Amino acid sequence: MTSETGYLLDNRQREAGRRFDALAELFDPWTLDHLDQLGLAAGWRCWEVGAGGPSVPTALAERVGPTGQVLVTDIDTAWLTELSGPATGPVEVRRHDVARDEPPGDGFDLVHVRLVLVHLPDRAEALRRMAGAVRPGGWLVVEDADPALQPLACPDERGPAEELANRIRRGFRALLAERGVDLAFGRTLPAQLRGAGLHDVRAEGCFPLTSPACRELEAATVRQLRGRLVAGGLATEREIERHLDHLRGEGMDVTTAPLITCWGRRPH
């Protein structure tokens, strides 16, 4: 996604794969439904930015078929190895840092990015570059979180377990803010896309309240960050273990930050 100094949830850590799987289960149906509604079909040229895991690129490749193209980029392509090789058809994987590098081409029918820009210090410039890579009449689709819009892990704070979950989530948000993450970025996307010269801008939000994938995403995130949470005095080892134990059951209703999906068309 972006450099190690800027991205708190490093893709090279072991828990990244579990996070990718949980995010795919939570958000892929939502994402792909929106892309399908924009007309995604055989022959389209697509750029998937900061893909992380393989689930969305695989779905794009199925839709565009052998006459289309799916360019998949990330600063760390370790989780994308299954997409490389002749058996993957129209998919090309390339190392690329959208925060620093020029776009790897232009004339794309679709440029899609999910949960990437919020972590970038110059996110507006990255968005402008992506918009410029869209062909006239093509679409830019940006999906990002807005933790400040709904900051709680457990909106129904009905007991000590939920209170602990919300305190640890506040610690996570503090670590994000220290890295320069804009915790209110998602709500700015419509204005950002219009500012990049796009028309027909629309946006919707996805807010899963509870599911096994929500709990798995929370657990993987906490395991990935436990050292930083403890070192920063944001939680103790005992509190983290208690929270992870709560997440192993079905009694805790854990949610994610709302995902804002925004799309716009480059004018002819």
Residue-wise pLDDT tens digits, 204-256: 999 999 999 999 999 999 999 999 999 999 999 999 999 999 999 999 999 99
Residues with Cβ < 8 Å from 134, sequence gap 6 or more? 106, 108, 109, 110, 111, 140, 198, 266
DSSP 75: S
Q: What pTM did the predictor assign? A: 0.92
| Band of residue 141 on the pLDDT scale cut at 50, 70, 90 | very high
Of the pLDDT bands very low, low, confident and very high (cuts 50, 70, 90), residue 3 is very low
Kindly report the CATH number that applies to the domain delimited by 16-148+181-209+257-265. 3.40.50.150
Q: Is the pLDDT of residue 92 over 60?
A: yes
Name 223's Cβ contacts closer than 8 Å, sequence gap at least 6.
15, 244
Checking if the pLDDT of 2 tops 50, the result is no
